[in-house]
């Protein structure tokens, strides 16, 4: 394989799969199921019998008690769709190693676990550059082509409008499922990421957010007068940064991150913030233990 | 203002590269960031006004140029007006006498002197003298404060008092080398000699009161000149304010005597001890004083009584019962007689007496002394030119130790040689200008000629004869073999009584004022302060 997905990395994914199975057994049942009613074994609800309904589903015991015909509804057991949305904006190329590399490794790891769980996993890159998504599919045989797809992804320059990119992806009518958004959450504005999450919520997806950032991004860096140039090409700004300004910067970043985590907590969105210098497998191990990210 | 090194002004051209580098450096640096999301939000607070931005650059450049200018000025060694004021020249004389150790006097004098050294300006000069037994220049004229402080460390404390007059005379000689030089004398005014007026000298640290003190002022032991086996110890205690206490006397560390003293104010206490001993002995005295006693140096004393050494006398020639009887009567003398002078001379012989034998052709090597009694021939001692009959002693020897208690006025000499003594020799007794006794006895090699035969005179029958022989033998003993005296401060120093002194100048510790540092030093200091300011602003990135 390549430097991005080394043999050692792939080998360790197997270990993560075993860990995922142990955790799933511990919970007795899957935490994420389709909300569609159908022919599964799990009872879901009753509803009045109407013409054309399957009479085999009539609850005869209920009829005996109430003299009204009701149908028993069962949960339909179907494949879970796991959509992995990778932020492909220019800011994801920041740092060493670049956040984009880590994002792709995380996407590969989560996709591996989904495919191993016989769920369907798909990948889409959200960024200024249009790149065709990897349609959700099932089976381990899709994993290697998925890795090649991830390797071929790249970031694009230009302003990243998260809400608009999210709207474009939702316009492709993805099946409802688990959406894991791997991003640095640095949008065009401080509201951008929240609006993008709103759109996901309105589409009734289960959501998980993995925020990646480098430590030097959360600090003002060297003091002095600099012409700060954004890598996404959104503009330049000349500033004199002294100790007070540096402290204000760090406070603003911390406030934004706390606001983001608070939003996710409020809306039952799984959220995990990781340092981009961490190992991807270590992050996935954390995700498994926290729950909510992995099928 | 003038400059001592104006060529340093060319270093001002360094300002050009400073300006060039500054203009190059003030270009803004570009810093890529992953997002401007937060900087955009903070921008209204962080952005500076364009006026301040322009101003701070010029402030920084002005600071750097000012620092350079100050450093160039400092290198040019400017002479400011306040530096041109009359320099002060001081000759400091330090009294090292033992009375300065009473109380805190010595420490206070040194502190005052150090204070004066510390106040010296660059243009001021000082010379440092020590008023010891012989005055010592600790440091000649200098402006270096450090070297003066180092020189002061070499000043030594004397165990006795010292006369400051030679030192003050030397200080006046030094003061004549500089215009308007002042002499400052750090002393308690307790001197062995009276000085009522200090002409042109400022006295600092004069004792204002008479501290209470009692001390041993004499502690000496000596052997008797006529009976060397006997010794005498003399002790004197002085107490200007009176004293009642004890004096403990020890001999070789063993208590010898304990005396209770009672001295009236201004009085002296004296006592002598006598004994008989040929062996060496060390005597020490301890005066038990009260808590108010100021001087510790005079409370103890020690003196050594040397052992009595045996003298070896060699008689050459025919037997002389009178001479041998006299020699045998002197203590610690071993006498032997030979017919002729042996060659070489046996070691350890102190005196060779030749009577009738062949005298040597040259004086005997030191320390052996030679006494020739009526030599018949001429030799290194002189030339015999004739014979003198019935020679009365008309010129007697002086009253030196050798001739103490020796009288020749009644001695009858029937016959004596007429001698022309060798050049450099001294005539000790003569008859009508004819030397009867001559030689050199006060320096090596010692020799003496008795120009007449003992049998041709009645000298052996006179009391002068054994006394002369005794004196002759005792003079062969070393000077320090008869006794010693303890080194003590003395009556005036132990008395701690300051002399009333009339001064022609007022004492002053003031130096040149607060400007104790040269102008270039202040310029350099200002440059360093500005450098710190510029560094601080650079560190805060306010003027970068």
Give the pLDDT confidence of B340-372 residue by residue, as tens digits: 888 888 888 999 999 877 888 888 888 899 999
User: Is B34 in Cβ contact with A186 (below 8 Å)?
Assistant: yes
Residue A34 has pLDDT above 50, yes or no: no
* Average pLDDT score, chain A: 84
Residue B121 and residue B112: Cα distance in Å, rounded?
A: 16
**SS3 call for A198:** helix
* Interchain proximity B31–A249, CB inside 8 Å: no
pLDDT, tens digit, 9 for 90 and up, residues B130-158 = 988 788 999 999 988 899 999 999 888 88
- Checking ipTM against 0.90, whether it exceeds it is no
Rg (CA), chain A: 23
Name B120's Cβ contacts closer than 8 Å, sequence gap at least 6.
B88, B126, B143, B145, B148, B511, B512, B516
Place of tokens 């150790």: B101
pLDDT at A202 over 60: yes
The dihedral sign for the CA sequence B136, B139, B141, B145: negative
Closest Cβ–Cβ partner in B36, B38, B541 for A235: B36
B55 contacts chain A (CB < 8 A): no
- DSSP state for residue B444 in the 8-state scheme: S
CB pairs under 8 A between A and B: 94
Any chain A CB within 8 A of the CB of B34?
A: yes
The reply to whether B27 touches chain A by the CB within 8 Å rule is no
- Please give the biggest Cα pair distance in chain B: 142
> Looking at the partner chain, which of B30, B33, B38 has a beta carbon nearest the beta carbon of A252?
B38
Share of chain A above pLDDT 90, in %: 45
pLDDT of residue A192: 94
Given a cut of 60, is residue A37 above it in pLDDT? no
**What pLDDT, on a 0 to 100 scale, did the predictor assign at position B542?**
46
Kindly state the percentage of chain B with pLDDT values over 70: 90
Find tokens 């309904």 and name the residue.
A53
What is the rounded CA–CA span in Å between residue A162 and residue A176? Answer: 20
pLDDT digits (tens, 9 = 90+) for B519-531: 778 888 888 888 8
Q: How confident is the model at residue A31 (pLDDT cuts 50, 70, 90)?
A: very low
Residue with tokens 């090597």: B365
Q: What is the DSSP string of B303-342?
A: EEEPPPPPEEEEEEES--HHHHHHHHHSTTEEEEEESS--
Beta strands in A6-53 (DSSP E): 37-48
Task: Using pLDDT thresholds of 50, 70 and 90, give the confidence band for residue A35.
Answer: very low
pLDDT tens digits for B8-23? 888 888 888 888 887 7
pLDDT band at A30 (very low <50, low <70, confident <90, very high): very low
Segment among A55-69, A97-111, A144-158 with least mean pLDDT: A55-69
- The answer to whether the CB atoms of B35 and A217 lie below 8 A apart is yes
- Rounded to an integer, the average pLDDT of B320-341 is 85
In this predicted model, which residue has the larger pLDDT, A104 or B42?
Answer: A104
At A36, is the pLDDT very low, low, confident or very high (cuts 50, 70, 90)?
A: very low
Percent of chain B with pLDDT over 90: 16
pLDDT bin (cut points 50, 70, 90) of residue A25 is low
Task: List the single residue in B with minimal CA-CA distance to A92.
Answer: B34
Q: What is the pLDDT of residue A29?
A: 38
- Supply B225's token pair: 């000149």
The pairing of beta strand B254-263 with beta strand B267-276: unpaired
Query: Taken in order A103, A106, A111, A112, is the CA torsion positive or negative?
Result: positive
Whether this prediction's pTM lies above 0.80 is answered by no
B146 Cβ under 8 Å from any chain A Cβ: no
What is the Cα–Cα distance from B326 to B335, expressed in whole angstroms?
Answer: 11
Q: How far apart are the CA of B47 and the nearest CA of chain A, in angstroms? A: 6
How confident is the prediction for chain B on average, in pLDDT? 83
pLDDT confidence of residue A153: 94
């Amino acid at each position: 394989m390549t430097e991005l997905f080394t043999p050692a990395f792939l080998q360790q994914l197997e270990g993560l799969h075993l860990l995922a199975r142990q955790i799933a057994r511990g919970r007795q049942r899957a935490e994420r199921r389709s909300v569609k009613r159908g022919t599964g074994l799990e009872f879901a609800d009753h509803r009045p019998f109407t013409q054309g309904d399957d009479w085999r589903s009539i609850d005869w015991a209920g009829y005996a008690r109430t003299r009204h015909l009701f149908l028993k509804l069962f949960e339909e057991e179907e494949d879970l769709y796991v959509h992995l949305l990778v932020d492909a904006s220019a800011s994801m190329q920041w740092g060493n190693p670049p956040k984009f590399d880590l994002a792709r490794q995380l996407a590969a790891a989560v996709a591996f676990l989904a495919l191993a769980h016989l769920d369907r996993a798909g990948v889409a890159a959200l960024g200024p550059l249009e790149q065709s998504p990897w349609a959700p599919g099932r089976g381990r045989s899709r994993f290697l082509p998925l890795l090649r797809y991830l390797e071929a992804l790249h970031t694009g320059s230009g302003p990243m409008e998260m809400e608009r990119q999210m709207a474009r992806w939702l316009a492709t009518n993805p099946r409802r499922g688990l959406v894991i958004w791997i991003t640095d959450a640095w949008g065009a504005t401080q509201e951008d990421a929240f609006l993008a999450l709103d759109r996901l919520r309105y589409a009734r997806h289960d959501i998980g957010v993995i925020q990646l950032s480098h430590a030097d991004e959360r600090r003002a860096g060297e003091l002095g007068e600099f012409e700060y140039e954004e890598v996404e090409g959104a503009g330049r700004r000349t500033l004199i940064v002294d100790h007070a300004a540096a402290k204000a910067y760090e406070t603003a970043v911390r406030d934004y991150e706390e606001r983001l985590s608070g939003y996710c907590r409020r809306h039952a969105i799984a959220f995990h913030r990781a340092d981009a210098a961490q190992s991807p497998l270590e992050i996935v191990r954390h995700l498994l233990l926290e729950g909510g990210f992995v099928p | 203002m003038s400059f001592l090194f104006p060529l340093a002004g060319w270093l001002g051209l360094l300002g050009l590269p400073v300006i060039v580098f500054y203009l190059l450096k003030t270009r803004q640096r570009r810093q890529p960031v992953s997002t401007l999301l937060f900087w955009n939000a903070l921008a209204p607070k962080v952005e500076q006004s364009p006026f301040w931005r322009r101003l701070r650059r010029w402030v920084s450049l002005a600071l750097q140029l000012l620092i350079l200018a100050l450093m160039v000025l400092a290198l040019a060694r400017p002479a400011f007006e306040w530096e041109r004021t009359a320099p002060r020249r001081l000759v400091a004389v330090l009294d090292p006498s033992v009375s300065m150790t009473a109380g805190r006097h010595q420490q206070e004098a040194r502190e005052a002197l150090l204070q004066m050294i510390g106040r010296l300006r660059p243009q001021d000069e000082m010379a440092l003298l020590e008023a010891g037994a012989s005055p010592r220049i600790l440091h000649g004229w200098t402006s270096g404060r450090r070297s003066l402080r180092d020189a002061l460390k070499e000043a030594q404390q004397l165990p006795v008092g010292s006369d400051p007059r030679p030192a003050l005379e030397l200080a006046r000689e030094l003061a004549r080398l500089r215009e308007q030089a002042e002499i400052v004398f750090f002393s308690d005014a307790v001197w062995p000699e009276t000085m009522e007026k200090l002409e042109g000298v400022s006295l600092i640290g004069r004792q204002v009161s008479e501290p209470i003190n009692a001390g041993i002022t004499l502690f000496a032991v000596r052997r008797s000149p006529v009976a060397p086996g006997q010794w005498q110890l003399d002790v004197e205690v002085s107490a200007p304010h009176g004293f009642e206490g004890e004096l403990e006397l020890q001999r070789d560390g063993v208590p010898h005597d304990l005396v209770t003293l009672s001295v009236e104010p201004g009085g002296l206490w004296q006592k002598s001890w006598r004994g008989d001993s040929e062996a060496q002995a060390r005597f020490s005295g301890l005066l038990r004083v009260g808590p108010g006693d100021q001087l510790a140096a005079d409370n103890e004393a020690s003196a050594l009584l040397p052992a009595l050494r045996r003298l070896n006398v060699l008689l050459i020639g025919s037997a002389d019962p009178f001479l041998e009887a006299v020699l045998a009567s002197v203590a610690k003398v071993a006498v032997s007689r030979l017919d002729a002078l042996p060659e070489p001379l046996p070691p350890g012989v102190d005196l060779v007496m030749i009577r009738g034998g062949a005298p040597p052709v040259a004086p005997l090597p030191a320390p052996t002394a030679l006494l020739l009694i009526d030599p018949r021939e001429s030799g290194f001692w002189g030339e015999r030119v004739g014979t003198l009959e019935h020679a009365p002693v008309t010129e007697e020897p002086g009253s030196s130790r050798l001739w103490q208690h020796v009288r020749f006025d009644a001695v009858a000499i029937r016959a004596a040689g007429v001698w022309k003594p060798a050049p450099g020799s001294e005539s000790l007794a003569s008859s009508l200008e004819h030397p009867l006794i001559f030689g050199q006895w006060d320096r090596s090699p010692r020799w003496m000629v008795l120009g007449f035969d003992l049998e041709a005179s009645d000298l052996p029958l006179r009391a002068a004869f054994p006394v002369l022989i005794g004196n002759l033998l005792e003079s062969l003993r070393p000077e320090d073999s008869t006794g010693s005296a303890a080194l003590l401060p003395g009556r005036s120093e132990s008395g701690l009584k300051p002399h009333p002194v009339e001064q022609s100048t007022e004492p002053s510790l003031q130096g040149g004022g607060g400007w104790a540092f040269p102008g270039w030093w202040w310029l350099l200091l200002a440059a360093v302060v500005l450098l710190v300011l510029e560094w601080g602003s650079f560190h805060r990135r306010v003027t970068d």
